[in-house]
Amino acid sequence: MKRNVGILIFDNAEVLDFAGPFEVFAVTSELNNFELFNVFTVSEKLDPISAVNGLSVNPTYSYKDCPHIDILIISGGFGARKQVHNKNTLSWIQNAHQQTEYTISICSGAMLLGTLGLLDNKPYCTHHEVYEDMIKMVPTGIPKKQERFFGTDKMYTSGGISAGIDLSFHIVEKLHGNKIAQKTAKYMEYNRTP
């Protein structure tokens, strides 16, 4: 089954938060006859977004025309702080999450899951500079500061920026086995964190 991987982006999203997972899932599919994943970006509107440090990115889909998502990846970055007040974004995440096989946050993207109450009484990871804010947002959450990523049921969170790559490989391995994950890592010349 080819899975749709939808990556949420917005102004001031951290580049590696979305580009790292994009590369892992897209390259995995490429190396396997493009049969495993269909990877795309999603934003509130189809207007280009300006990521952290000014990288301009054209979203593939808007909230209105986005297809079903099997694996939802929520970027972090400075822009996540604004998105916790964006009712359209929060509603879209909530609706998408109900249908996903996996919902994943990268870095400070955990703030969006926290705002929705999805991390109440659950362990989570985020960027090391965000834990203080998260403890206020999700007082019943269980910070896992020593972990690069952590998952319960279908929801996973990762630490800062590059940790999203490790989490993406973990999901690939869960779905398709170590051999396929290692094949992608070798091609990308990426040393996976055990």
Give mean pLDDT, residues 8-26: 98
Inter-CA distances, 34 with 2, 42, 172, 181, Å: 9, 20, 14, 15
Bridge-based pairing state of the strands 56-57 and 49-50 = antiparallel
Which pTM value belongs to this model?
0.96
Residue 139, pLDDT score: 97
Q: Taken in order 1, 96, 115, 17, is the CA torsion positive or negative?
A: positive
Would you say residue 68 has pLDDT above 80?
Answer: yes
Give 193's pLDDT tier (boundaries 50, 70, 90): confident
Q: For residue 152, give the 3-state DSSP assignment.
A: strand
- CB count within 10 Å of CB 34 equals 11
Distances (CA, A) of 42 to 39, 62, 101, 173, 192: 10, 5, 17, 24, 27
Distance between CA atoms of residues 183 and 28, nearest Å: 8
Q: What is the pLDDT of residue 1?
A: 86
